[in-house]
Amino acid sequence: MSSEQAKAALLAVDLGPVDGLAALREKLLEVETRLEQMDNMASSVSPEVFTRVKADYEARRDGIIGEARPLYEAVMAEYQKLKAVFADLQQTEKRARLAREEIEFRAMLGEFDGAEKTSRLGAIDAEVGDAETVLAEVSAVRERFIAAVGDESELDGEPEASPQPEAEPEPEPESAVIADVPTPITAPSLEAPTGQIGAVTLPPVPQLSIPDITIPPPSRETMVAPAPAPAPPPSRPMPPPVPSTMVLQAIKLPLANTEPVSAISTPSKPGRLVPQNPEAGRQTHVATVKTLSIGAAPESDIRIAGPGVELRHAELRPSASGFTLVDLDSRNGTRVNGERVNSRLLEDEDVVMIGAARFVFRLS
């Protein structure tokens, strides 16, 4: 793709959905800020007024999220066009630099004189300069996409399809045991374009051959079984009668923190994150003895997509005290009951918000 073709392709990118989504993000931030403020001011008004005003702002928030969803999908579709222009320009610049290096090397070997070298390098340098100029324009447009989406990592993914209703599973024999095997995710590949620069015909850029690495699903033999519950202490026989005069033997007290790890870190009962809106999905996530990762990454235990959710956004960590929600230094933060937190021990009926996804935490 030449620089002129890249400019034409850049002009074909529709920025209307980008600007519309950016405006909706500002409205959503304003509404969420007021919801957070009113939770701290609940004692200053009557319960009836507080409930009515909060319901009004929650309805506004849900309306903005619903309005933003089709714009978000349109923004991601337009970004694919911008991404193709960006990739072509990068390849053009790379091929030009390789051609320049080749010309200088051939001149060092004495294949042609200085005048011919200057002529050939002049054509290539002009093409490189044009490509860098258009790349700068593409980068500026890309910043507008980031501002609209709210998270740069969202631009590298595809818009998530709306969840379809799940079919009723067929009954299986009681003796059959089927392990849940995650579906492998194949990243899209970009094919490098070919072309010419000035009077120099450039060779295609050599492609790196990277073999596919397939990780087999865990077998039943290699799966780690949960830690067995500690066995009850053996019953002790009744002590003999205490004589009128006796000598107490030395009592050895157990050292601190010598209990098994499972007994220290296992909560008394499991917890659940129950989704409350479409952005949170339909699945209720059960937390037991394993730390659950939360974010937009495909490998997350609790996967959430949408504006304001990073690849590794937060974790739900078990301990003897219960379950602690820990924010992983995300840009947009994690909220519990409307309050932005870095780490919070969750209590029953706490409301957790990550991006636009809303959950209720329940102990069961």
How far, in Å, CA of 322 to CA of 266, rounded?
8
> What is the structure's pLDDT at 56?
93
Question: pLDDT tens for residues 133-182?
Answer: 877 888 888 888 877 877 666 676 544 444 444 555 555 544 444 344 44
Q: How many domains does the chain have?
A: 2
Confidence of residue 236 (pLDDT cuts 50, 70, 90): low
Domain boundary (149, 164, 192) is at 149
For the chain, first and last CA: distance in Å? 59
309 occurs within a structural domain = yes
Residue, of 3 and 242, whose pLDDT is higher: 3
The DSSP annotation for 329-364 comes to S-SS-EEETTEEESEEE--TTEEEEETTEEEEEEE-
184 occurs within a structural domain = no
User: Domain with 333 in it: what CATH number?
Assistant: 2.60.200.20
Question: pLDDT tens for residues 13-53?
Answer: 888 888 888 888 888 888 988 888 888 888 889 999 999 99
Domain boundary (123, 149, 175) is at 149
Same domain, 145 and 280: no
218 occurs within a structural domain = no
Q: What is the helix, strand, coil percentage profile of the chain, to 5? A: 40, 15, 45
264 occurs within a structural domain = no
Domain boundary (83, 115, 149) is at 149
Give the residue numbers spanning the domain of 351. 271-363
289 occurs within a structural domain = yes
Which uninterrupted H or E stretch holds 318? strand 314-319
275 occurs within a structural domain = yes
Which uninterrupted H or E stretch holds 133? helix 114-149
